[in-house]
Structure 1
Amino acid sequence: MKKRIIALLALLACLLVIISGCGNKTSVAKQANTVDTWSTIQKRGRVIIGLDDTFVPMGFRQKDGNLVGFDIDLAKAVFKQYGIKVDFQTIDWNMKETELRNRTIDLIWNGYTITPARQKQIAFSRPYLANRQVLVTKKDQNINNFKQMKGKTLGVQTSSSGASLLDEHPKVLKNYIKDQSPVMYDSFNNALMDLDANRIQGLLIDSVYANYYIQHEKDPDSYRTYYGGFSGEDFAVGMRKGDKTMKHKINSALQKLANDGELQKIEVKWFGTDHNSLVKPNN
């Protein structure tokens, strides 16, 4: 009888732990959707931005470890208007929405694409930069379109918009590649090294990353980029749905930066042109 009682008590304890955990998750999700944290961020004087620090030229580390990039400059320029310091925190890109929901970070700002799936979980600022997914190959592979990837190995970053598009539209590219399944990478850096070593024959990657990377390689002519059948996409800042004030403040600051020409200067610095901008000066 004692053994039965002990077993029953242990089972009840486990159930309480499970119920408590579910309650905590529900509470965290509810807060993320309802609580406006702008006043808290103002009081502490800093905002925490999560990023993948290998994503050139949006946010990446130089050889000396210094963090630089288009989104780094833009985020600093936005929050300078409100007297708020920006802290950048490297995160596992696969866990970005979880980090945001759990408040380990306040924003996702790192070449972050607006998608319907992501919009169900979080809120976005106005889009500020246009981007596309491109297939990058080495010229000696003689791959000029998606169909010529038939039987070849494709690389893609885990939890990237490219990975989502690959799954959502399999007839465009996925059905051609080896085993109809790509090799997944935590970062594009590792994927590009494997491309150079012919461990993969193609890489589906953001055009802003591909163009910057190739331009800074010793032999840029050894690469080929193909803009296939995937539609264009927009970069925006990701935040919790409850942060309505944050969204308004960021949108207003982006417009002000466009009006005074600062946004265009940042674009020219990192891209050599401002034609990708989605925030235009008010007339």
Structure 2
Amino acid sequence: MKKKLLIFMALFLLALGLSGCSDNQKSVAQEANTTDTWNHIKKRGRVIIGLDDTFVPMGFRQKNGKLVGYDIDLAKAVFKQYGIKADFQPIDWNMKETELRNQTIDLIWNGYTITPARKKQLAFSRPYMANQQVLVTKTNENITSFKDMQNKILGVQTSSSGASLLDEHPTKLKNYIKHKTPVLYDSFNNALMDLDDKRIQGLLIDSVYVGYYISKEKDPASYRVTRGGFTGEDFAVGMRKGDKTLKRKIDNGLQHLANTGELQKINKKWFGNSDNSLIQPEK
């Protein structure tokens, strides 16, 4: 009888702990959806931006360790208008929404694609750049269409928009690849190394990333980029739903940069004559 009582008490305490954990998660989510943190950010004098620091050319490390990139320049230029310093925090891309919800970071600003699933969890700034998921292969593999990936190994970044599209539209590419299952990577850097070493035969990747990457390679012609049936997508800044003032400040800041010509200078610096910007100067 005593043993049964101890077991009952243990189960009761476990259930109580799980209930408390669930209540805490609901509280954190509710706070993220209702709290406007602009005054706190302004008082602190800095905003913390989460990113994958291997995503060229949006945000990445140079050989000397310095963090550079299109989104780095853009975020700094936006918050400079408000006298706020932009601090950048490398994060596990697979945990980005959790980091944002738990207020470890204030923003996700790193070639972050707007998707229906993500819009359920957080808010987005206005879109600022067009992108598309493409298949990159080595030219000597003679892969010229998604169908040519039949029984071949495909790589994709974990929790990326490419991974989501692959699952949402399996008939476009996923059903062709070996075991109908891709190899998952934490970063595109590792995936591209495996592509070069023939461990995978294809990589589903952002056109913005691969276009810049190939342009910097010694032999750009050794890569082939194939555009399949995936529709275009837009990059925007991700934030908690409660941060309505922060959203307004970022949207206005981006438009101001377009009006003054600063946005065009940043675009030219990183993309040359290729213009994927979605924000035009006001007339």
1:161 equivalent to 2:157? Answer no
Residue 113 of structure 1 is matched in structure 2 by: 113
Match of 1:278 in 2: 278
In structure 2, what residue type is equivalent to 1:211? Answer: G
Q: Report sequence identity in percent.
A: 73
Q: Deviations over 1:204-248 (max 9, x none)?
A: 100010011001111111101011111000000000000000000
CA–CA separation in structure 2 for the residues paired with 1:262 and 1:224: 33
Partner of 1:73: 73
Aligned pairs (5 A) from 1:31-70: 31-70=31-70
Amino acid in the other structure paired with 1:34: T
> Could you tell me how far apart the structure 2 residues matched to 1:47 and 1:259 are?
24
Q: Residues 6-58 of structure 1: CA distance to partner in whole angstroms, max 9, x if unpaired?
A: 33332222222111101100000000100000000011111100000000000
Instruction: Note the aligned Cα RMSD (angstroms).
Output: 0.9
For each residue in 1:111-152, what CA deviation from the matched residue of structure 2 results, as whole angstroms up to 9, or x when unmatched? 000000000000000000000111100010011111111111
Q: Which residue of 2 aligns with 1:175?
A: 175
Cα displacement (A) at 1:260: 0.2
Give the residue type in structure 2 aligned to 1:164.
S
Shift of 1:274: 5.3
Counterpart check, 1:248 vs 2:223: no
> Equivalent residue for 2:19?
19
For 1:16 and 1:273, the matched residues in 2 are separated by 60
Q: More deviation in 244-253 or 11-20?
A: 11-20
Measured in 1, the distance between the counterparts of 2:16 and 2:179 equals 44
- What is the 5 A alignment of 1:72-91? 72-91=72-91
**How many residue pairs end up in the alignment?**
283
Which residue identity is paired with 2:195?
L
| Alpha-carbon separation, structure 2, partners of 1:140 and 1:8 | 66
1:30 match: 30
Contact kept, 8 Å, 1:156 with 1:204, in 2: the verdict is: yes
Aligned partners of 1:154 and 1:182 also within 8 Å? yes
Q: Distance in 2 between matches of 1:143 and 1:6?
A: 64
SS in 1 for 2:231: coil
Give the Cα separation in 2 of the matches to 1:238 and 1:151: 36
SS of match in other structure, 1:175: coil
Asked whether 1:227 is paired with 2:189, we answer no
Contact preservation (8 Å) 1:134, 1:228:
yes
2:225 aligns to what SS in structure 1? strand
Counterparts of 2:199 and 2:95, CA distance in 1: 27
Q: Equivalent residue of 1:111, what SS?
A: strand
Query: Which letter maps to 1:233?
Result: E
Note the 1:100-249 alignment, pairs <5 A: 100-249=100-249
CA distance in 1, matches of 2:182, 2:199: 12
Distance 1:222 1:75 in 2: 34
Distance in 1 (CA, whole Å) between partners of 2:164 and 2:145 is 20
Matches of 1:5 and 1:229, distance apart in 2: 61
Unaligned 5+ runs, structure 1? none
Whole-angstrom CA distance in 1 between matches of 2:85 and 2:66: 17
Matches within 5 A, 1:255-270: 255-270=255-270
Return the letter of the residue paired with 2:115: T
Moved more, 171-180 or 237-246: 171-180
Structure 1 residue 86: deviation in Å? 1.0
